[in-house]
């Protein structure tokens, strides 16, 4: 009689173990994807900083041009 319930418990434990293995794989994949996204966001922040720097330089140049031409900024 004890073979039946023990086997049933083993079957359920194996199913649980398989599901845990799949979840572990999925979580590992999600971790890699999040790391990739963090890297891309960091690169975007660098790009934004670079563009801001370029815009500041253009603004300075435009100010010098306006002063040379005696054009009042609007």
Domain ranges of the chain: 1-74
Please give the average per-residue pLDDT across 29-44, as a whole number: 97
pTM over 0.85: no
d(CA 64, CA 55): 14
Do residues 66 and 73 touch, judged by C-beta distance below 8 A? yes
- Cα 55 to Cα 21, 30, 46, 60: the distances in Å are 51, 37, 14, 9
Please give the average per-residue pLDDT across 43-71, as a whole number: 93
Question: Quick check: 62 pLDDT over 80?
Answer: yes
d(CA 56, CA 66): 15
Do residues 31 and 24 touch, judged by C-beta distance below 8 A? no
């Amino acid at each position: 009689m004890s073979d039946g319930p023990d086997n049933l418990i083993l079957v359920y434990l194996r199913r649980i173990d398989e599901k845990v293995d799949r979840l572990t794989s999925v979580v590992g994949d999600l971790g890699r994807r999040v790391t990739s996204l963090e890297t891309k966001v960091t690169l975007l922040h660098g790009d934004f900083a670079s563009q801001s720097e370029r815009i500041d330089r253009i603004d300075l140049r435009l100010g010098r041009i306006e002063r040379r031409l005696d054009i009042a900024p609007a």
